[in-house]
């Protein structure tokens, strides 16, 4: 296939005028139908980092920052990522009298789309630090059984009967965007208190998402729900730090105990 006939170089219209109507909300309700009895499935946040955030000040001079969005898991809607990218592009040539006016405008537009309060904070372009993942890495284990699609039956107890509190992480999370089919990569953190989970089986379960089509938020909620249902832990946190695509990264977190909810999202080297 020649370059001319490939997907490279296909036109995408990037707006140069303010277009809040470009935001595309997606209802969370359909994917949550099977999780109604799962404690904490709507408890937590979706944190986004917006790396292509630029606008004009009152004098018409371009400004840049990194935006951090906090969308509550209780919101009826998530916001489709490409529409969010195009929305922020529509701000590139819009003048704002102050950063407060910018923040107020963005929060109002996104809150309308999500049908819940969305918060935006601005970070200096050079001030976003990188941290190391906390917990025990699962990627050293060799699962005995693998699946090409999410399979909760892969999750196994160790069988000791002892209650433990552990945090694992894996860099092997991969799923596909249900809209574009493009792969989404991430590091996933799983913290729990309860009967010990076999780490190799937990890794096998994470790997089973490798060909799964699902939005970031939906994948995290399905992982959370399957662990909660299969293992019935006393407490559980599932957090995914996805790598950026289109100038955005998404970091959904669901917790059974608000005390386990991070104050701010982690930032990893791959992001």
CATH code where residue 206 lies: 3.30.1130.10
Helix, strand or coil, per DSSP, at residue 92: coil
Question: Could you tell me the two tokens for 127?
Answer: 């001030």
- Residues 206, 106 share a domain: no
Query: What pLDDT score does 11 carry?
Result: 64
The Cα 211–Cα 188 span in angstroms is 16
Query: What pLDDT score does 36 carry?
Result: 84
Q: Is residue 230 part of a domain?
A: yes
Q: What percent of the chain has pLDDT over 70?
A: 96
| Bridge partners of residue 185, in order along the sequence | 174
Q: Is residue 131 part of a domain?
A: no
The Cα 14–Cα 17 span in angstroms is 9
Q: Is residue 271 part of a domain?
A: no
- Residues 165, 112 share a domain: no
Which of 99, 123, 147 is the C-terminal boundary of a domain? 123
- Residues 149, 111 share a domain: no
- Residues 226, 185 share a domain: yes
Q: Is residue 219 part of a domain?
A: yes
Q: Is residue 129 part of a domain?
A: no
Question: For the segment 212-244, what is each residue's pLDDT rounded down to a tens digit?
Answer: 999 999 999 999 999 999 999 999 999 999 999
- Residues 33, 108 share a domain: yes
When pLDDT is cut at 50, 70 and 90, the band that residue 10 belongs to is low
Q: Is residue 171 part of a domain?
A: yes
Q: Is residue 267 part of a domain?
A: no
* Average pLDDT over every residue of 139-165: 91
The Cα 167–Cα 204 span in angstroms is 16
Alpha carbon separation from 116 to 78, 105, 109 (Å, rounded): 10, 15, 11
Residue whose C-alpha is closest to residue 225's, from 234, 236, 216, 214: 236
Q: What are phi and psi of 179, to 5 degrees?
A: -90, -50
Catalytic residues: 177, 184
- Residues 181, 86 share a domain: no
- Residues 154, 42 share a domain: no
User: Is pLDDT above 50 for 9?
Assistant: no
Query: What pLDDT score does 8 carry?
Result: 38
The Cα 246–Cα 89 span in angstroms is 11
- As a whole number of Å, the end-to-end CA separation of the chain is 32
- Residues 167, 208 share a domain: yes
- Residues 108, 162 share a domain: no
The Cα 129–Cα 126 span in angstroms is 8
Helix, strand or coil, per DSSP, at residue 191: strand
* Average pLDDT over every residue of 67-73: 98
Where do we find the tokens 């596909």?
176
Question: For the segment 90-124, what is each residue's pLDDT rounded down to a tens digit?
Answer: 999 999 999 999 999 999 999 999 999 999 999 99
Mean pLDDT, the chain, whole residue set: 93
When pLDDT is cut at 50, 70 and 90, the band that residue 6 belongs to is very low
User: Is pLDDT above 70 for 139?
Assistant: yes
Q: Is residue 128 part of a domain?
A: no
- Residues 150, 111 share a domain: no
Q: What are phi and psi of 114, to 5 degrees?
A: -80, -20
Which of 123, 157, 181 is the C-terminal boundary of a domain? 123
Which of 94, 123, 152 is the C-terminal boundary of a domain? 123
Residue 247: DSSP 8-state = T
Domain extent, residue 39, equals: 3-123
Residues 249 and 243: beta-carbon distance below 8 Å: yes
Query: What pLDDT score does 7 carry?
Result: 39
- Residues 118, 140 share a domain: no
- Give how many domains the chain has, as a whole number: 2
C-alpha of 190 from chain center: 14
Query: What pLDDT score does 162 carry?
Result: 82
């Amino acid at each position: 296939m020649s370059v001319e006939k490939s997907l490279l170089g296909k036109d995408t219209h990037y707006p140069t005028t303010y277009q809040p109507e470009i935001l595309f909300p997606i209802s969370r309700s359909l994917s949550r139908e099977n999780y109604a009895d799962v404690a904490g499935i709507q408890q937590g946040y979706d944190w986004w980092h917006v790396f292509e955030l630029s606008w004009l000040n009152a004098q018409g001079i371009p400004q840049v920052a990194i935006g951090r969005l906090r969308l509550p898991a209780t919101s009826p809607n998530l916001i489709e990522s490409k529409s969010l990218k195009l929305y922020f592009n529509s701000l590139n040539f819009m003048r704002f009298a102050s950063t407060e006016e910018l923040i107020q405008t963005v929060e109002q537009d996104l809150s309308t789309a999500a049908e819940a309060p969305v918060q935006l904070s601005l970070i200096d372009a050079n001030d976003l630090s990188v941290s190391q993942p906390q917990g025990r890495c699962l990627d050293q284990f060799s699962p005995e059984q693998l699946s090409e699609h999410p399979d909760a039956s892969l999750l196994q107890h160790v069988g000791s009967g002892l209650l433990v509190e552990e945090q694992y992480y894996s860099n092997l999370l991969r799923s596909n965007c249900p809209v574009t089919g493009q792969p989404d990569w991430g590091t996933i953190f799983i913290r729990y208190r309860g009967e010990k989970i076999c780490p190799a089986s937990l890794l096998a379960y994470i790997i089973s998402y490798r060909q799964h089509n699902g939005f970031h938020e939906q994948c995290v909620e399905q992982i959370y729900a399957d662990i909660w249902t299969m293992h019935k832990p006393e407490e559980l946190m599932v957090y995914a730090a996805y790598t950026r695509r289109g100038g955005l990264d998404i970091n959904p977190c669901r917790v059974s105990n608000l005390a386990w909810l991070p104050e701010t999202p982690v930032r990893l080297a791959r992001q």
